[in-house]
């Protein structure tokens, strides 16, 4: 089947092939030591995701749900344009720990796109969407719960908010690599911002790296680390939906 993508081309394949490629780190985070990510496979026995003093435990992935909605339509009075909206949804949960401190995470991610079969052109994919939502519950009756909500409506990467009682971090995507002046067109990492000031980042290319401002309160550092783990553990549903089209 011939696929024509109405999405900005990316340089992610090039980044994956260059071991030195990293997300550009905001200047405010440059002095912060980075934590190299290990076990990014996550689901494989003996390969639990970890970075610095943080570790994922008891990762469980739910079954993947597939949805399709026929839209129909016509290019002209004589040429049929069969359209459909495809969506996949997957849940996963895990425990997250830093030493004796731990908590639970319940996440759901989804990806969708529209698919048209057009004469001559073949299969056209457009209007991509994606989302990631997680609830983080630290252990302890007095610990405040956190919520991560991210979405993508242009195929360039997720953005969103990580928040709790009276605290909100913006989660911005980055499409800049350290070894090229070209932008990738898709997210190679994410930056956590508090009132516009970078306080953490997660690099998702070439194994991954995480930085968290050590000056933040412990509960905020823990929440940023848990959110980084969730971002690193999500699967590539967008490619799976494309393959299904």
Tell me the per-residue pLDDT of 38-63, one tens digit each, with 9 for 90 and over: 987 555 555 689 999 999 998 999 98
Whether pLDDT at 133 is above 80? yes
Tokens 């056209």 found at: 124
pLDDT at residue 46, rounded to an integer: 55
For 75-89, how does the pLDDT look when each residue is reduced to its tens digit (9 = 90+)?
Answer: 334 444 466 788 899
Name the phi and psi angles at 111, rounded to 5.
Answer: -145, 145
Q: Sorting pLDDT into bands at 50, 70 and 90, what band is 179?
A: confident
Whether pLDDT at 206 is above 90? no
More confident residue, 17 or 95: 95
**pTM score, whole prediction:** 0.83
CA angle 176, 21, 228 (to 5 degrees): 70
Angstrom distance (rounded) from CA 168 to CA 140: 21
Residues pairing with 146 in the sheet? 136
Which stretch, 53-62, 65-74, 173-182, 183-192, has highest mean pLDDT? 53-62
For 10-35, how does the pLDDT look when each residue is reduced to its tens digit (9 = 90+)?
Answer: 444 444 445 568 899 999 999 999 99
Q: What is the average pLDDT value for the chain, to the nearest integer?
A: 82
Mean pLDDT, residues 156-169 taken together: 94
CB-based contact 206:220 (threshold 8 Å): no
pLDDT at residue 143, rounded to an integer: 78
């Amino acid at each position: 089947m011939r696929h024509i993508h109405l999405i900005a081309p990316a340089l992610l394949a090039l980044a994956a092939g260059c071991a030195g490629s990293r997300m550009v780190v905001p200047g405010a985070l440059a002095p912060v030591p980075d934590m190299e990510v290990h076990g990014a496979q996550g689901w494989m026995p003996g390969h639990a995701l970890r970075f610095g003093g943080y570790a994922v435990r008891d990762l469980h992935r739910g079954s993947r749900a597939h949805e399709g909605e026929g839209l129909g339509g016509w290019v002209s009075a004589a040429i049929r344009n069969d359209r459909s909206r495809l969506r996949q949804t997957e849940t996963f949960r895990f425990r997250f720990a830093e030493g004796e401190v731990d908590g639970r995470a319940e996440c759901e991610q989804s990806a969708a796109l529209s698919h048209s079969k057009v004469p001559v052109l073949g299969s056209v994919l457009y209007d991509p969407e994606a989302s990631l939502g997680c609830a983080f519950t630290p252990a302890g009756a007095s610990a405040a719960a956190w919520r991560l909500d991210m979405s993508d409506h242009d195929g360039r990467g997720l953005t969103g908010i990580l928040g709790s009682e009276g605290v909100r971090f913006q989660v911005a995507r980055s499409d800049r690599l350290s070894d090229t002046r070209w932008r990738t067109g898709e997210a190679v990492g994410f930056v956590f911002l508090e009132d516009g000031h970078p306080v953490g980042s997660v690099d998702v290319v070439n194994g991954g790296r995480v930085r968290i401002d050590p000056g933040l309160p412990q509960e905020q550092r823990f929440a940023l680390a848990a959110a980084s783990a969730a971002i690193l553990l999500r699967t590539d549903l967008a490619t799976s939906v494309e393959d299904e089209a």
